[in-house]
Chain A
């Protein structure tokens, strides 16, 4: 049973575009939703995270939109750059439990 479903599997955008990555979760007890960025050969790095009491959170060029009723959340990358080319993972957890990760989205930003 996959508790966090992520789409698309891969994404190609031009520099300056706004890639959007979507995740859906099943467990309504989840109360923490982070996004991680991973470059080849490196560990995942925490980008931004949201809790279900807010519908949107912005940090720099990264924005999370959260829809509690639909059990969905998404990552938007504004003014994307070639350096943003990486694999992005959404995750979910409830307090005191392990992170459940999506399968990842490989983003390629062309110059």
Chain B
């Protein structure tokens, strides 16, 4: 049973560029949440997708957007990259958001903005 997978593993971009990160949820899960983890910090919630719609959003600017596909996989897009966007981006999957949140995390994508 495959767990949560993310791609790519590492990514280097320059300021002002755009990036797309991808996530496939754990088998049987239909809800995907994205988190940003800065070095030495806990994960910070970006947004959650369920039934192909954004259901919740954390305190992140509109430069951060996402999408969920019919097979429940998801993308995170970040436009106009800033140096401060350098972080580990984590995807977590779970069952429908109405349930208690037992979330399973992927290995993350390490984004470096130069």
Contacts and interface: CB of A to CB of B under 8 A. Distances in A.
A44 B98 contact: no
Contacts of A54: none
Contact of B102 (A41, A42, A46): A46
Size bracket of the B interface = 20 to 34
Contacts of B101: 32, 34, 93, 95-99
B103 A101 contact: no
A51 interface: yes
A60 interface: no
Contact of A43 (B33, B41, B42, B108): B108
24 contacts: A6-B42, A31-B100, A32-B100, A41-B107, A42-B108, A43-B106, A43-B107, A44-B105, A49-B102, A51-B100, A89-B43, A91-B42, A96-B97, A96-B98, A97-B101, A98-B45, A98-B48, A99-B43, A99-B45, A99-B103, A102-B42, A103-B40, A104-B40, A104-B41
Interface of B: 4, 33, 40-45, 48, 56, 58, 90, 92, 97-108
Given A43-B90, A43-B105, A44-B105, 8 more contacts: A36-B105, A41-B107, A44-B90, A89-B43, A95-B98, A97-B56, A97-B101, A99-B103
